[in-house]
Amino acid sequence: MQKSACIIGMGRYLPERILTNADLEKMVDTSDEWIYTRTGMKARRIAAEDEFPSTMGAKAAINALEEAQIGADEVDLIICATLTPDYIFPSTACLIQEQIGAKNASAFDFQAACTGFVYALSIAKAFVESGVHKNVLLVATEKLSSIIDYTDRTTCVLFGDGAAAAVISSEKSPGVNLKINRVFQGADGALADRLILPGGGSRVPPSIESVERGDHFLKMEGKEVFKHAVRKMKDVSVQAVEENGFELADISYLVSHQANVRIINAVAERCQIPKEKVKMTIEKYGNTSASSIGLCLCDMQEKSELKDGDHLLLCAFGAGLTWGATVLSVEGEDNG
């Protein structure tokens, strides 16, 4: 019989430095009041100069492996979701593989921006449930501060750094297991330019002119992205709930990508999910792109909020444009 893929361990790493709204007030023409009411953010973490997506991801991965009670040498595949890789190549996944000593693992990066964690679950689930691999390590890790223009108030207040990791396996752990139900996802490349890092790829290689134009900084049409985010996350969330055989009332928690409190609340409202079921880390971490859903799950675990029989609705939206959703069903011991 085919075994279901479950998350059997999770881990995170957050850099120490905290960038508050008060700090940003000294850098650009903004205010704590504007940032908090428009986004729900109060603070975000910023990686040190010698911290990179690979080093942060490796720390999160080690924590996840410890929780899953498996050794690094038992990992068959490392999938790294990041839009801020250490290098264009080699992959950040290979750097993590070396740092954690996962000598039997293959490794690759892929890129679905803020939808990275949800897309990665579908990839890991496919490898595990097809029997190709037993243990897949998903690492979502971002150093967004490296692509942010800290003179542009429309983007610099939004993003933070951090890493989250999950071990996905066909063998359940003695602790909490999160069964990954079917993942639904989509993309619309016609809207690629709405959220883009124009420079640094082969289309706009680095040059004095590209640096002077600021092509190596993230650009976003915030309002436009906001509209699509609400619509697509609502649609894909309803699809993930219904086509996995649940009803919206069965959902214990909404664990959404943390881009804007107003987006999350609008999705929850349209899905008729009450406020007390909506999980948020946005106030303390900001938007950490691919890492945000994993960080939210780790936060829930730390607070012993994952209980046997719970169903968590995960949904995300990001550059591409991309979107995705799934339901995680908690099986096993309470972690309280």
Candidates 6, 114, 156, 296; catalytic one:
114
Q: Closest CB to ligand ACO among 39 and 91?
A: 39
Asked if 216 is part of the footprint of ligand ACO (rule: CB under 6 A), the reply reads no
What part of residues 37-76 is at the interface with ligand ACO (CB under 6 A)? 38-39
Smallest separation, CB 190 to ligand ACO (Å): 16
Catalytic residue check, 114: yes
- Neighbouring C-beta atoms of residue 245, cutoff 10 Å: 10
From residue 6, give the alpha-carbon distance in Å to each of 67, 68, 89, 262: 13, 11, 30, 31
Asked if 154 is part of the footprint of ligand ACO (rule: CB under 6 A), the reply reads yes
| Residues whose CB falls within 8 Å of the CB of residue 263, separated by 6 or more in sequence, listed in order | 226, 229, 230, 233, 256, 317
**Element housing 23 (H / E):** helix 21-27
Asked if 319 is part of the footprint of ligand ACO (rule: CB under 6 A), the reply reads yes
Smallest separation, CB 229 to ligand ACO (Å): 4
Asked if 114 is part of the footprint of ligand ACO (rule: CB under 6 A), the reply reads yes
Smallest separation, CB 39 to ligand ACO (Å): 5
Candidates 257, 296, 298, 311; catalytic one:
257
Phi, psi of 209 (to 5 degrees): -65, -40
Question: What is residue 86's DSSP assignment?
Answer: S
Smallest separation, CB 4 to ligand ACO (Å): 29
Catalytic residue check, 287: yes
Residues 118, 225, 271, 295: which binds ligand ACO (CB under 6 A)? 225
Whether cis (ω within 30° of 0) applies to the bond prior to 274 is no
Smallest separation, CB 219 to ligand ACO (Å): 10
The tokens describing 277, both together, are 């079921």
**Would strands 162-169 and 135-142 be described as parallel, antiparallel, or unpaired?**
antiparallel
| Residues whose CB falls within 8 Å of the CB of residue 90, separated by 6 or more in sequence, listed in order | none
Stretch that binds ligand ACO, among 62-70, 95-103, 121-129, 150-158 (CB under 6 A): 150-158
Asked if 34 is part of the footprint of ligand ACO (rule: CB under 6 A), the reply reads yes
Catalytic residue check, 257: yes
Amino acid letter at 16?
E
Taking the alpha carbons of 12, 47, 201, 282 in that order, is the dihedral positive or negative?
Answer: positive
Q: Which residues face 139 on adjacent strands? A: 80, 165
Q: Closest CB to ligand ACO among 14 and 263?
A: 263
Q: Could you give the CA distance from residue 223 to residue 228 in angstroms, rounded to a whole number?
A: 9
Smallest separation, CB 156 to ligand ACO (Å): 7
Asked if 332 is part of the footprint of ligand ACO (rule: CB under 6 A), the reply reads no
Q: How far apart are the first and last CA of the chain?
A: 31
Asked if 110 is part of the footprint of ligand ACO (rule: CB under 6 A), the reply reads no
Q: Please give the residue ranges that form the binding site for ligand ACO (CB under 6 A).
A: 30, 34-35, 38-39, 113-114, 153-154, 157, 195, 222-223, 225-226, 229, 259-260, 263, 287, 289, 317-319
Catalytic residue numbers, as ranges: 114, 257, 287
